[in-house]
Structure 1
Amino acid sequence: MFRQLVIQSARLGDLVQTRRLLLSLAGRGETHLAVDAGLAPLARVLYPFAHVHALPFYTADAARAAQEVSKVLHLWHELDFSAVYNGNYSSAGTSLCRLFPPERVHGYRPGPGGPERSPWARRAFRLTAHRACGSLNLVDYWGYFVPDPLPPEAVNPPARGGGEGLGVVLAGRESRRSLPVPLLARIVRTVHDLMGGPRVRLLGSAREQAAARRLLRELPGRMHDHVEDLSGKTDLPALVEAVRGLDRLLTPDTGIMHLAAALGVPVLAFFLSSAFAHETGPYGLGHTIIQADGLSCLPCLESAPCAFGVRCLRPFEEEGLLGALSALIEGRASARLPRGLQGWASDLDALGGVLRLVAGQDRQGGLRRAIRRELASQTNVAAAFAAADAQAASPLEAEAEESARRWLRADSDWMLPPRRYC
């Protein structure tokens, strides 16, 4: 029997963003998925076709972890996987791959000097040196670990309201990427009124319960009876039910945002600091993103402290934001965001998820398109992408094409036939 294993050792959002890869594998043989034990219940809900293996990726109990890993490795040895897809550049996930012949491992492999990237992972990873020009969604990065993944339109359903009201994600794990509570309250009030006063669900972990109480104090009294605070009150399967059927979700770049997109819930997302929508924006049709732009420090490194007082937050606090949001939600062409912000609508092309500018300016647009064409040229959708990309190449576009080729074709891997790049 042809058996395949996906190792996803990261957090909730990454588990959801592995969706294109997992759905692509589902029809090709028996599919197994290894995740942190805390995410195993959610993995079974999202991917009922997969055999889920719970591993202690984030436990502090080393002795217990070693015992559990030993049991799983013994089982894997008996299963004899034909292909293994390791999704993260981490010592934990890559160490597990030492059980398998190197030629069966795609993504991140054990090497003599530590984890090594396979050819596709190496090429795509080069884009991190030019993040402001990035144009590859993480869903598609993992999706192309196989040479002919599922079409992008088959990954997430088009976003449509389900009648269950407005969801509000209070914050993400990284505070710099989240909006302050007073600002969030103004946005919630505006969107709530535009939607005709629906029910509101506050979503988050137990860490966000204090933020939920502050948000309620900031909201007008007329809204209080409409608000249900679910922060810290749902396990992961219950979170799926809390998100499913919402008419809209307000959120920073979070795992709940990706869950909403996978469930077909329309997302209104706010990206700043290290969050960059071209990399980790909501996947599929029908989502709106407000992205901070115009500063040389954007997007920044999450692990590095901000030396500028999170100045990318300031445009979100300007008066014109709420009016622009109203225009975007109502589909009016008059949306004028404050300077330093861009409005994007999620879309799909032959390669995968892509964003279309609907407000503001994109200084990197030409280079972004050139990178996308270069990426597509080495995939199974090269012809379809080229046929759909009818934009005339100006001298600046031609220069951008050369830059894209130089950045992405830095080694002899490009000499391999396209179907072998995974």
Structure 2
Amino acid sequence: MNLMEAIEGNKQVLLVNITRMGDLIQMIPLIKRLDREWPGVSIDLVIDSAFTDVARLLPGLRHVWTYNFQALMDDSRARARDVVALYREMAAWAKPIQAIGYDRVINLTFNRRSAYFVAYLDAPDVRGLTTAPDGSVIVRNPWLGYFADLHAYRRLNRWNLVDLYALGGSGIGPFDTITLTVPEEARSWASAFLHAQGRVSRWIAVQVGASDVMKAWRPESFGRTMAMIGRAADVGFILIGSPQEAGAAREAVATYRAAGGTAVLASALGRTTVSQLAALLSHCALMLTNDTGPMHIGVGVGIPVVALSVGHVDVWETGPYGPGHWVIQPDIACGPCGFDQVCPHQTCKDHVLPEQVAAVCLHALQYGPMPTAWSRARLYQSGIDRDGLGTFFLRAGSENPLFNWYGRFWRRVWFELFTGRSSEELPPEEHPPDYHHAREVYEHLLPILGSLRLTAEEMTRVCRQRRLPVEALKDLHARMTTLIHDAQRFGRECLAFSPVTIALMRELHNLSSVSLEAMIREQEQAIVEWQRRIHVIGRRFHFHSSTRSACYASTA
């Protein structure tokens, strides 16, 4: 790439996305959104060198920068090499990237290494993780701040990662599909591969394994499911995945044979490049899979997907994007697991029955009706909501009434807070199931809100004095610490207020200033915003408190 051509061109954006195959594919609507925001924009991408083949499938990119970030992480963790020397090497690699002078840098990788890299670029508009002048990691942009928080209230989340990327990296816009560019030579290879497997009316791609065993349905369940489908439909099966998944695939095949499976069963396991895999999937009538990177490739080449959302996977976060797909998620109190949790029993996988999965696959192939008799799991159909965003519609099973109410509530609230627009989505019923408890919490929060804001304002005034009264500032800080503790205790007690309270806790430490006065002013602004959000919720719940507080009077 000619550097001067890059500098003299239109708007320039750098995407940083270095951790997973699926994450790269899920940012395709963001690429389209950026081109709509800035017609003719030049978009570059930074990835780990392991994902070079994936990047070739992505449309709309000018240049791809690669670096072995995995080796950087491994060497720094193991202290195999001097950490300072490692980061100096990365800085030398990044110098030509910095010289381009990007108008916007969007960091979609939430780790410290990516934050250091993005801060080094010193772009005027940074979204996602970066660092403050003191080196602490901060997040910029409300949508990507939401993404950083959602692990704390996952059961209330109703946003797909695809939409969070597009909204945070660009802004609101019409619905965009995930579409991949498949090279012709890969299509030719796939045609020849399938021809060699024999005459099959329709192929179903099956990925038995996953990068993390926690999010993989049991191999024997896959085997029984394939046998049931094969008895009811004229299909063949292609096993896909990495060589590391060969053991799970063998278990599935053994169960398939033992269950009387006779349909053609071919294996492309570990035998394809990423482009060849995309081409192979484009020839299939259906994909049955765990939540994996290849699942998103299937979406990108336009085939219907039946996905199994087990372990720490949640349908709303990473389920197949756009209309035409199906997701089965266990109905279990402990699911989905925490991201870092290692489950000793993985009982959720037994809640998803082969009979149910086979029935969904046959319906997707138009061999049978949509199953409605359902137990121990939920069946979702993907689609587009009234705001033009990805969503999932419950087709069988049931949801927890409390989580369902607040999921719908917060979907509207966040959209309206972050965009300044009214949502077209229908609001939930008038009151939540825990309405009276929410009102009690609100009454407790009101005086804390007032005291916290007054204390923050007083700290700002004290810091403006020429001679800083240290003891007075210490007293105010101690008072604020106590109030913040109380705010967190009450605010996180109820689903009506916990998401905005969690956001406050992050924003109180999300400080980009250098001077003490500026940092305290940032904290004051975070408290004022929390106060505003609490009152937005109070008005929507039709709370009419008799409590008289300074904060309530100031925003009524």
Shorter-chain TM-score above 0.5: yes
How far the C-alpha of 1:319 sits from its partner, in A, is 5.9
How far the C-alpha of 1:366 sits from its partner, in A, is 1.4
Q: Does 1:116 align with 2:108?
A: no
Q: Residue in 2 aligned with 1:38?
A: 50
Q: Residue in 2 aligned with 1:301?
A: 338
CA 32–304 in structure 1, closer or farther in 2 if over 3 Å, else same = same
How far the C-alpha of 1:406 sits from its partner, in A, is 5.4
Q: Residue in 2 aligned with 1:420?
A: none
Work out whether residues 405 and 428 of structure 2, in 8 Å CA contact, stay in contact via their aligned partners in 1.
Answer: no
Query: Could you tell me how far apart the structure 2 residues matched to 1:125 and 1:267 are?
Result: 28
Opposite residue 80 of structure 1, the aligned amino acid is G
Work out whether residues 321 and 338 of structure 1, in 8 Å CA contact, stay in contact via their aligned partners in 2.
Answer: no
Q: Residue in 1 aligned with 2:369?
A: 332
CA 15–310 in structure 1, closer or farther in 2 if over 3 Å, else same = same
How do 1:285-324 residues align onto structure 2 when only pairs under 5 Å count? Answer: 285-295=323-333, 297-307=334-344, 309-317=345-353, 322=358
Query: Could you tell me how far apart the structure 1 residues matched to 2:42 and 2:360 are?
Result: 48
How far the C-alpha of 1:79 sits from its partner, in A, is 1.0
Which of the pair is proportionally richer in helix?
2
Q: Does 1:77 align with 2:98?
A: yes
Opposite residue 125 of structure 2, the aligned amino acid is R
- Which structure would you say has the larger RCO, counting Cα contacts within 8 Å and 6 or more residues apart? 1
In structure 2, stretches of 5+ residues that fail to align are 1-8, 181-190, 192-200, 443-494, 505-524, 531-556
Deviations 1:362-397 (A, max 9, x none): 1122111111101221344833x33xx245632227
Q: How many residues align?
A: 405
How do 1:185-200 residues align onto structure 2 when only pairs under 5 Å count? Answer: 185-194=223-232, 196-200=233-237
Query: Could you tell me how far apart the structure 1 residues matched to 2:428 and 2:247 are?
Result: 53
- The TM-score, its normalising length taken from structure 2, stands at 0.66
Q: Does 1:144 align with 2:156?
A: no
Query: Could you tell me how far apart the structure 2 residues matched to 1:209 and 1:284 are?
Result: 30
Determine helix, strand or coil for the equivalent of 2:69.
Answer: coil
Q: 1:181 aligns with which of 219, 228, 232?
A: 219
How far the C-alpha of 1:249 sits from its partner, in A, is 0.5
Deviations 1:127-172 (A, max 9, x none): 3211122211111111112352442244459xxxx98610001211
CA RMSD of aligned residues (A): 3.1
Query: Could you tell me how far apart the structure 1 residues matched to 2:388 and 2:413 are?
Result: 11
Query: Could you tell me how far apart the structure 2 residues matched to 1:360 and 1:125 are?
Result: 30
Work out whether residues 306 and 361 of structure 2, in 8 Å CA contact, stay in contact via their aligned partners in 1.
Answer: no
CA 338–51 in structure 1, closer or farther in 2 if over 3 Å, else same = same
Determine helix, strand or coil for the equivalent of 2:57.
Answer: helix
Work out whether residues 243 and 269 of structure 2, in 8 Å CA contact, stay in contact via their aligned partners in 1.
Answer: yes
Work out whether residues 88 and 108 of structure 1, in 8 Å CA contact, stay in contact via their aligned partners in 2.
Answer: yes
Q: Residue in 2 aligned with 1:369?
A: 408
Work out whether residues 89 and 115 of structure 1, in 8 Å CA contact, stay in contact via their aligned partners in 2.
Answer: no
Which one is further off, 315-324 or 238-247? 315-324
Which one is further off, 265-274 or 314-323? 314-323
Q: Residue in 1 aligned with 2:26?
A: 17
Q: Does 1:126 align with 2:165?
A: no
Work out whether residues 239 and 268 of structure 2, in 8 Å CA contact, stay in contact via their aligned partners in 1.
Answer: yes
- The TM-score, its normalising length taken from structure 1, stands at 0.85
Report % sequence identity: 21
CA 118–298 in structure 1, closer or farther in 2 if over 3 Å, else same = same
In structure 1, stretches of 5+ residues that fail to align are 417-422
Q: Residue in 2 aligned with 1:241?
A: 279
Q: Residue in 1 aligned with 2:453?
A: none
Which of the pair is proportionally richer in strand?
1
Which one is further off, 218-227 or 19-28? 218-227
Opposite residue 34 of structure 2, the aligned amino acid is L
Q: Residue in 1 aligned with 2:500?
A: 408
Q: Residue in 2 aligned with 1:135?
A: 158
